Amino acid sequence: MSAAAQKPARDTRTILLDYAEVSVLEKGYAATSIEELIAAAGITKSGFFYHFPEKVDLGKALLRRDNEIVETGVRAMFADAFAAHTDPLDALLAALKAYGEAASKSTASRPGCLAAAFSYQDTLFDDETRELIQHGITVKHGLIRAALERVAAAHPPRAPVDLDALADMALAVVQGGMIIDRVRPPEQAVLNAQMTLYRTYVQSLFSHA
Amino acid sequence: MSAAAQKPARDTRTILLDYAEVSVLEKGYAATSIEELIAAAGITKSGFFYHFPEKVDLGKALLRRDNEIVETGVRAMFADAFAAHTDPLDALLAALKAYGEAASKSTASRPGCLAAAFSYQDTLFDDETRELIQHGITVKHGLIRAALERVAAAHPPRAPVDLDALADMALAVVQGGMIIDRVRPPEQAVLNAQMTLYRTYVQSLFSHA
DNA sequence: TGTACATCAGTGAACGCGCGTTCACTGATGTAC
DNA sequence: TGTACATCAGTGAACGCGCGTTCACTGATGTAC
């Protein structure tokens, strides 16, 4: 518990990215100015362009960092859950719970998703950026879909279930829950309630009462 | 079927709003410039400021118009559905189907929701605008929640159901479906598939097989 | 151990453009008497 | 029917600011021999 361990000594680039992430989530990419980022990081404007040759590179770096968190963090949630539970259904439900909770307490004060923010501004970007936006949800979809397959193998559903659509529903419920949480006045934690409801649905589809 | 009936002769203000709506959905409010709007409407910049004293008034007008469509259009969908079906569950399912289809073929080429776009830029706005953003989803929530109450009265569910969360889920699934449809490469109609899945869920909660 | 060079992480000054906004004015249409 | 005035839907020119971007340069640290 040394004091040094608490402050990981963020470098300038990380400070820029951290501040940009919050700002993009609050007012969007276009309205996030380089000026405010350098004020937060305490460097000059040319210093910014040393780290990011163009503004669009900031957007890409933001998405790449976010995608890495998905690749490692969310993947680990599913791996851990499947390691901890013998029943795939229990594992999936645990993983979804962890994912929902992580999503609800993201970087900024309000929940939000970079990919969602970017998706409503994406004609400003090039193809590479659009692919980065897409990548994160593709990975998440894959993880959930793979888990659903294991669940379906262990618990054959009564009626046929479209596993792709069901996996998408988890993503949709999180994205939509975030938007509702952003729009509604106080903290009502719609996102968490939605994930709970979704988990109940999945359970009802596969567990034979 | 006269030719005059096809072209309702949009006035300049409507042209500005129409173009702005598409643009906001594609690149966001901040990146939607007055310059491009007046180019589309064929007026000068001062002409724009005759219609909207400040840019923020354009945003408000956009949201007010959208809210009116919800107030009349979506309300009518529910009224029509409940007039056409004796069973409240059938009525709700029909209304949701109509709502989902309307949402999937909105103004622009891709599905999108003004409130969602604005919610990811809302620190740019004043309180009045934020209330307008909120109003639309409050109304929709109210309509779905009222319908769910009638369904629950006619078909008491086996297990207790949180009707507010279930109503939110319809909104979340539509908002989330839109984001996924925007991000995924071709037209996969995730939004419609999600609404179908949601309707199946509602049906399973209330109809005793 | 000393020197030469390369890389890193910036500085400082300037750029042009496009943005939202203001202001005085105008021509066409509508209304009052 | 004619005139006076008001309102509507704009025009045209100018504004200052902040934006992203460029360019030549710099001081500190690292590496080679």
The CA–C1' separation of B47 and D13, in angstroms, is 14
Alpha helices in chain B (DSSP H): 3-6, 12-27, 34-41, 45-51, 55-69, 75-84, 88-104, 114-119, 127-154, 163-183, 190-206
- The answer to whether the beta carbon of residue A53 comes closer than 7 angstroms to any atom of strand D is yes
Residue A29: both structure tokens together: 């990419």
What whole-number percentage of chain B has pLDDT above 70? 95
| Closest amino acid to nucleotide C20 (CA–C1') | B55
R_g of chain B computed on alpha carbons: 19
- Grade residue B209 by pLDDT with cuts at 50, 70 and 90: low
- Indicate the length of chain A as a whole number: 209
Across A174-188, B6-20, B99-113, B170-184, which has the greatest mean pLDDT? B170-184
pLDDT in the model for residue B6: 43
Q: Are B147 and A175 in contact (CB under 8 A)?
A: no
pLDDT at B4: 37
Mean pLDDT for the stretch of residues A33-49: 98
Q: Is the CB of A134 under 7 A from strand C?
A: no
pLDDT in tens, B42-53: 999 999 999 999
What value does the mean pLDDT take over residues A164-184?
Answer: 97
A126 Cβ contacts chain D strand, under 7 Å:
no
Residue B32: nearest nucleotide (C-alpha to C1'):
C19
- Bases of strand D lying below 7 A from some protein CB: 9-14, 18-24
Is some CB atom of chain A closer than 8 A to the CB atom of B134? yes
pLDDT(B205) > 60: yes
Q: Contacts of residue A190 in chain B, CB cutoff 8 Å?
A: 165, 168, 172
Give the angle subtended at the CA of A110 by the CAs of A108 and A116, to the nearest 5°. Answer: 85
Average the pLDDT over B69-92 and give the result. 98
Statement: the CB of A163 is under 7 Å from strand D: no
pLDDT of residue B109: 80
Q: For B117-122, what is the mean pLDDT?
A: 97
Q: How far is A55 from chain B (nearest CA, A)?
A: 14
User: What tokens appear for A28 in the block?
Assistant: 């969007």
| CA distance linking residue A153 with residue A181, whole number of Å | 35
Whether the CB-CB separation of A98 and A81 falls below 8 Å is answered with yes
Determine the pLDDT at residue A3: 38
A192: tokens are: 């968490």
pLDDT confidence band for A9 (50 / 70 / 90): confident
Amino acid, res. B185: P
pLDDT for res B106: 76
Q: Please give the pLDDT value at position A68.
A: 98
Q: Which two tokens stand for residue A207?
A: 């567990």
User: How many Å apart are CA A173 and CA B136, to the nearest integer?
Assistant: 19
Partners of residue A161 in chain B, C-beta under 8 Å: none
Q: Average pLDDT of chain B?
A: 94
d(CA A29, CA B11): 32
Distance CA B126, CA A64 (A): 32
pLDDT band at B188 (very low <50, low <70, confident <90, very high): confident
* Terminal alpha carbon distance of chain A: 48
Q: Is the CB of A105 under 7 A from strand C?
A: no
* Helices and strands, counts by H and E, chain A: 11, 0
| A200 touches A170 (CB < 8 A) | no
Q: Are B177 and A172 a contacting pair, CB within 8 Å?
A: yes
A100 at interface of B, judged by CB pairs closer than 8 A: no
Using a CB-CB cut-off of 8 Å, the residues of chain B touching A28 are: 28-31, 120-121, 124
Put simply, whether A134 touches B (Cβ < 8 Å) is yes
Supply the pLDDT for residue B108. 67
For chain B positions 46-85, those within 8 Å of chain A (CB to CB) are none
Residues 13-52 of B with CB under 8 A from A: 25-31
> Which of A121, A166, A183 shows the shortest C-beta gap to B119?
A183
Are the CB atoms for B78 and B145 separated by under 8 Å? Answer: no
Residue A31 pLDDT level (bands cut at 50, 70, 90): very high
d(CA A190, CA A178): 8
For B4-38, give one letter per residue: b (16+ CB within 10 A) or e: eeeeeeeeeeebbbbbbbbbbbbbbbbbbeeeebb
Q: Which chain A residues contact residue B25 at CB under 8 A?
A: 120
Whether A163 and A145 have beta carbons less than 8 Å apart is answered as yes
Per the rule left: phi > 0, alpha: psi between -120 and 50, beta: everything else, A189 is: left
The per-residue pLDDT of chain A, averaged, comes to 94
Residue A87 pLDDT greater than 80, yes or no:
yes
pLDDT, residue A4, reads 37
Q: Name residue B207's amino acid.
A: S
| pLDDT for A8 | 60
For residue B79 the two structure tokens come to: 């009224």
Q: Across the interface, do B120 and A183 touch by the CB < 8 Å criterion?
A: no
Residue B2 has pLDDT above 50, yes or no: no
Q: What band does A82 get if pLDDT is binned at 50, 70 and 90?
A: very high
Mean pLDDT of A107-121: 91
Report DSSP letters for A74-98, one per residue.
IHHHHHHHHHH-SSHHHHHHHHHHH
Q: How many residues does chain B have?
A: 209
Say yes or no to pLDDT of A1 above 50: no
What pLDDT, in 10s, does the model give residues A117-165?
999 999 999 999 999 999 999 999 999 999 999 999 999 999 999 999 9
| Distance, CA of B125 to C1' of C21, in Å | 17
Least confident of A39-53, A86-100, B1-15: B1-15
